[in-house]
């Protein structure tokens, strides 16, 4: 059967696969343990297993989409290239000074992480571009020769970051330096700030460029190796990498700009959740993606994921458009321990895929969230279609290592571990909702990831959320989101202009960005079903430190008409009122950045999930602990038997190949017309 598209999401514990046939909508899923030392091994082995299980020939795969954690892990572990940095004379310490914000404001002993480039590896060059893009001090040929010679005789480096002042307004000096270094040392990777992110605020631009340089060699090698391997299996497949902004890009572009993949996997989950919500006609969603290592949350409003333009990842500042995801180290593999204060802690350290939780029987012996769920009777005897068998004895031994020092029972310790993990997840949700002006009670909580359904009701209850939605294949939703993704490219230009002044410069900049976006669509979007552009302005009151992004319109045809100051001001006031709860209509407003997003819609197919075959009757019963008093005999249902309209009153456990859902006694569950599980809480 021809025309398969395949999405692969690599997590800290499992690598997930979702395949969809473009002609029939048939869906096939697969899951296998990740290989942290080389993620491509799990991808290739799992792809072969998926093909054998589903009968998919390599020649029939037309698109291969990959959500990757390689960049994220390299940052977390500081495992990347040795960098040298070139910057304007007098500014080599800028990446160390940063914004002078302490990582923990009340802890005077905690320092910010050291920069990715040592001070001795930062070179200064005599040149200067002014704040209007004018050349104040020219960059001479002799100065370029001096810098190239110093690079040649200095410490060995794999990658060069070129970060000059005001290069986002005039990149000529950066380009001349890059051309000279490429000619003299073609083996080096080079990141140029005016190409990585041509935006004002030099610290954020420099930091983003350094991260890109740090990641380029390793990510580039990984992309090349994986692209060639996939081409050998599926020679006709278009290879796409998911980027943090919520769309696909080519593997070559990912190799050039690996910083764009810093939140690749979690962003795919948000896209998948938005698609699942649209199918169920639920447009306001807070996602709860609980995997083996971490929990990712995102707010979806009106069917659209929220986008942020600045994030800190592993203590490093990134200035790029990214799906606004908040991540905490709380997952099934998160390790519980007793802290120096004698209190129980959970995470962020994880048992990962190797050795894994103690209950997996693969050598792990430290207590984890998964072990706690096993002790409480909340997990079935087998996971991942029988590939993982639970070992309750090992889980109990592990939990006792924290229970006995605290003088409590193993059950009480397990309840405490699950409660602490849920509290960490709740705080993550507040970061994307209440802290940004959204009331979580007005949203549904969509739970996915292998452990999302186990903790969703506890998290929802603590936030006052009454409805929990569990999609048909929750453990594979990130991989499924890759199949719903579009091709995407983002453009930005800084053009500070007061709204009360002449807007002709803004109109010219918009026209230039629109031309770039249309050229990209013509060159990169061959085979796409349709394409459009989205115009966004970053605006602020004059004197404010930071801007608000105001999305104006979706453009499908000719270039947009000239902008009108009154309409822009009203759009800004509306966003300011929503974000901050007040607005000063008399204060002057200015435009700071202009953004244009080009989107090309790839051919999709509506997924057709196999209809459940009833009757929905319990396959067995478990004694499940919901509190310390006593366990409750709880029926276990196979989700594949729960037909549309099926309803029950908790407690119950719903099992399937890729996830487990816990229905507490205080909830009812129904199966909706698109096979979502809808949990309604009595006591939220």
Distance CA 476, CA 370 (A): 18
Note the pLDDT tens digit of each residue in 624-648.
999 988 999 999 999 999 999 999 9
From the list 61, 503, 63, 417, the residue with the least C-alpha distance to 240 is: 63
How are beta strands 589-601 and 487-498 bridged, if at all? antiparallel
From the list 532, 18, 6, 32, the residue with the least C-alpha distance to 239 is: 6
Distance CA 522, CA 656 (A): 43
Q: Looking at residue 602, what is its pLDDT?
A: 87
Mean pLDDT for 566-592 is 92
- How far apart, in Å, do the first and last CA atoms of the chain sit? 47
3-state secondary structure of 423: helix
Q: Looking at residue 293, what is its pLDDT?
A: 79
Q: Looking at residue 384, what is its pLDDT?
A: 59
Q: Looking at residue 549, what is its pLDDT?
A: 92
Q: Looking at residue 644, what is its pLDDT?
A: 93
Q: Looking at residue 8, what is its pLDDT?
A: 94
Q: Sorting pLDDT into bands at 50, 70 and 90, what band is 592?
A: very high
Note the pLDDT tens digit of each residue in 211-267.
999 999 999 999 999 999 999 999 989 999 999 998 999 999 999 999 999 888 788
Taking the CA atoms of residue 274, residue 280, residue 284 and residue 289 in that order, the dihedral angle to the nearest 10 degrees is -50
Q: Looking at residue 44, what is its pLDDT?
A: 93
| Angle 476-482-483 from CA coordinates, rounded to 5° | 95
pLDDT at 366 over 90: yes
Q: What number of other Cβ atoms are within 10 A of residue 614's Cβ?
A: 11
Report percent pLDDT > 70 for the chain.
98
Q: Looking at residue 609, what is its pLDDT?
A: 75
Helix, strand, coil in percent for the chain, rounding step 5: 35, 30, 35
Distance CA 186, CA 181 (A): 7
Q: Looking at residue 673, what is its pLDDT?
A: 92
Instruction: Tokens for 529, please give them.
Output: 């079903």
Q: Looking at residue 373, what is its pLDDT?
A: 94
Q: Spell out the domains of the chain, with CATH numbers in brackets.
A: 4-75+224-263 (3.30.420.40), 79-219 (no CATH), 264-481+615-684 (no CATH), 487-601 (3.30.1490)
Q: Sorting pLDDT into bands at 50, 70 and 90, what band is 578?
A: confident
Q: Sorting pLDDT into bands at 50, 70 and 90, what band is 605?
A: confident
Which tops the pLDDT comparison, 114 or 154? 114
pLDDT at 423 over 90: yes
pLDDT at 387 over 80: no
Tell me the longest C-alpha to C-alpha distance in the chain.
82
Q: Looking at residue 599, what is its pLDDT?
A: 92
Return all residues near 347 (Cβ < 8 A) that are at least 6 apart.
Answer: 328, 329, 330, 331, 334, 335, 421, 424
From the list 659, 660, 656, 637, the residue with the least C-alpha distance to 648 is: 637
Distance CA 71, CA 313 (A): 11
Note the pLDDT tens digit of each residue in 38-67.
888 999 999 999 999 899 999 999 999 999
pTM of the model: 0.86
Per-residue buried b or exposed e for 448-457, using 16+ beta carbons within 10 Å of the residue's own CB: bbbbbbbbbb
Average pLDDT, the chain: 90
Q: Looking at residue 608, what is its pLDDT?
A: 77
Q: Sorting pLDDT into bands at 50, 70 and 90, what band is 329?
A: confident
Lowest-pLDDT range of 15-29, 103-117, 312-326: 103-117
Mean pLDDT for 24-49 is 88
Q: Sorting pLDDT into bands at 50, 70 and 90, what band is 352?
A: confident
What region does 268 belong to: left with phi over 0, alpha with psi -120 to 50, or beta? alpha
pLDDT at 107 over 90: no
Q: Sorting pLDDT into bands at 50, 70 and 90, what band is 2?
A: low
From the list 291, 221, 268, the residue with the least C-alpha distance to 66 is: 268
Return all residues near 353 (Cβ < 8 A) that are at least 6 apart.
Answer: 12, 13, 14, 33, 34, 35, 36, 292
Distance CA 328, CA 425 (A): 7
Q: What number of other Cβ atoms are within 10 A of residue 108's Cβ?
A: 8
CA 53 to chain centre: 29
């Amino acid at each position: 059967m021809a025309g398969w598209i395949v999405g692969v999401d690599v997590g800290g514990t499992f690598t997930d696969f979702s395949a969809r046939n473009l002609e029939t909508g048939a869906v096939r899923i697969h899951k296998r343990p990740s290989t942290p030392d080389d993620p491509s091994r799990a991808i290739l082995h799992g792809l072969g297993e998926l093909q054998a299980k589903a009968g998919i020939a390599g020649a029939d795969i037309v698109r291969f989409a990959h959500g990757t954690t390689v960049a994220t892990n390299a940052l977390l572990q500081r495992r990347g290239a040795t960098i040298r940095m070139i910057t304007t004379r007098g500014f080599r310490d800028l990446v160390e000074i940063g914004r002078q914000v302490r990582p923990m404001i009340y802890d005077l002993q905690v320092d910010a992480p050291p920069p990715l480039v040592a001070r001795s590896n930062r070179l200064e060059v005599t040149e200067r571009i002014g704040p209007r893009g004018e050349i104040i001090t020219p960059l001479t040929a002799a100065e370029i020769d001096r810098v190239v010679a110093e690079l040649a005789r200095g410490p060995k480096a794999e990658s060069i970051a070129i970060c000059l002042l005001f290069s986002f307004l005039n990149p000529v000096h950066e380009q001349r330096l890059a051309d000279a270094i490429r000619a003299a040392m073609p083996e080096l990777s080079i990141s140029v700030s005016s190409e990585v992110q041509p935006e004002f605020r030099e610290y954020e631009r420099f930091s983003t460029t350094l991260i890109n340089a740090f990641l380029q060699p390793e990510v580039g090698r990984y992309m090349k190796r994986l692209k060639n391997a996939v081409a050998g299996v599926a020679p006709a497949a278009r290879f796409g990498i998911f980027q943090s902004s919520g769309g696909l890009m080519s593997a070559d572009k990912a190799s050039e700009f690996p910083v764009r993949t810093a939140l690749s996997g979690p962003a795919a989950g948000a896209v998948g959740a938005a698609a699942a919500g649209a199918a169920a006609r639920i447009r306001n969603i807070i996602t709860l993606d609980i995997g083996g290592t971490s929990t990712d949350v995102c707010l979806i409003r009106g069917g659209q994921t929220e986008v942020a333009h600045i994030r800190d990842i592993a203590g490093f500042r990134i200035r790029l458009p990214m799906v606004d995801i908040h991540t905490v180290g709380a997952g099934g593999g998160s390790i519980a321990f007793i802290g120096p204060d004698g209190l129980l802690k959970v995470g962020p350290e994880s048992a990962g895929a190797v050795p894994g939780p103690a209950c997996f029987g693969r050598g792990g012996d430290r207590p984890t969230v998964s072990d706690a769920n096993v002790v409480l009777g909340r997990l079935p005897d087998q996971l991942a279609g029988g590939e993982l068998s639970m070992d309750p004895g090992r889980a109990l031994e592990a939990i006792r290592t924290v229970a006995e020092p605290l003088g409590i029972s193993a059950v009480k310790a397990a309840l405490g571990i699950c409660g602490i993990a849920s509290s960490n997840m709740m705080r993550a949700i507040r970061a994307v909702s209440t802290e940004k002006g959204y009331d979580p009670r007005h949203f549904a909580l969509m739970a996915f990831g292998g452990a999302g359904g186990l903790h969703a009701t506890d998290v929802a209850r603590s936030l006052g959320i009454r409805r929990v939605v569990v999609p048909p294949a929750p453990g594979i939703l990130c991989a499924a989101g890759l199949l719903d993704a579009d091709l995407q490219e983002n453009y930005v230009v800084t053009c500070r202009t007061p709204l009360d002044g002449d807007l002709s410069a803004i109109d010219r900049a918009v026209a230039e960005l629109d031309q770039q976006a249309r050229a990209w669509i013509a060159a990169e979007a061959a085979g796409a079903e349709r394409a459009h552009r989205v115009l966004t302005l970053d605006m602020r009151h004059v004197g404010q430190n930071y801007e608000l992004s105001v999305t104006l319109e979706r453009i499908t045809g000719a270039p947009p008409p000239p902008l009108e100051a009154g309409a822009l001001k009203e759009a800004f006031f509306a966003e300011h009122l929503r974000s901050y709860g007040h607005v000063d209509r008399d204060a002057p407003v200015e435009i700071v950045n202009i953004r244009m997003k080009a989107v090309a819609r790839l051919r999709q197919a509506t997924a057709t999930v196999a209809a459940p075959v009833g009757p929905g009757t319990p396959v067995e019963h478990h004694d499940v602990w919901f509190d310390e008093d006593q366990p409750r005999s709880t029926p276990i249902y196979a989700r594949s038997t729960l037909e549309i309209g099926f309803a029950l009153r908790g407690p119950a456990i719903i099992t399937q190949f890729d996830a487990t859902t816990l229905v507490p006694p205080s909830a009812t569950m129904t199966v909706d017309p698109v096979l979502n599980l809808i949990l309604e809480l009595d006591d939220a």
